[in-house]
Structure 1
Amino acid sequence: MEIERFKLSKSAKDQLTKLKRYTKIDQWNILCRWAFCRSLAEPTQPSPVPIPADSNVEMTWRVFGGELADILLMALKQRCHNDGLGCDKDTLTTQFRLHLHRGIGYLAGDPTIKTIEDFIEIANRH
């Protein structure tokens, strides 16, 4: 496993807390999966900004991915390949964090997300 554990930034935790309130999805990992996939759907690479690991929300890759853990890892590797990046552990970890946090920002900043059904609508648009 290339990515074993990760910690969210405080900002991402706050954004996910807002999403939890709106959608009634109370598991961090499910919201994180949506966010990660939302970012992967964008054609551009996420900006290479430093992301602090300063919240108390930490999870393993297996918890994050659940039954989709292997598929999500393959999607990350394919995206890194498509973006002309390597697939070494450091690159995968960095790109995962960038995609995850960008996706969380996109979801939290979307004024149309108020329910679980709104997540489905986003998936249908992308």
Structure 2
Amino acid sequence: MLKLIRNTLADRSTLQTPTGKISWKFLQELNKLQDAQGLRLGNKLKMAHIRWEKQKMKVKLATQVFSSSVADALEFCNTQLHLPQFRGCEETVEFLRTIDAAFDVLNSRNPLGKGYKAPMRTSNKERAEKVLL
């Protein structure tokens, strides 16, 4: 499912939601910025994630695109650095965080996991329902 979401977002460039637009452009701009600076803003986003077509079967690449670290980097570029190419990325940031949280809830298998990575139990049922509903 992560690969399908990534493929759809990359192919269409923009997805319209009731509250705004989710745009692949922000991920491309983040990669361009990180390549130009020679530094990573705490994420693993590279050209292989942007030009995924030759490695489309690698779930790892799709998982790393939809990570909270990429969302944090986009948010930092918008709110702290005030870079114009990241203006309006709030909807994309929220989308990335939602997909990341849903993946963590559904992929939880470690009995010692914390937060969204904790296995589903009656004690954390509300947290999982909030993400999945």
Q: Greater RCO between the two (CA within 8 Å, min separation 6)?
A: 1
TM-score, normalisation: structure 1:
0.25
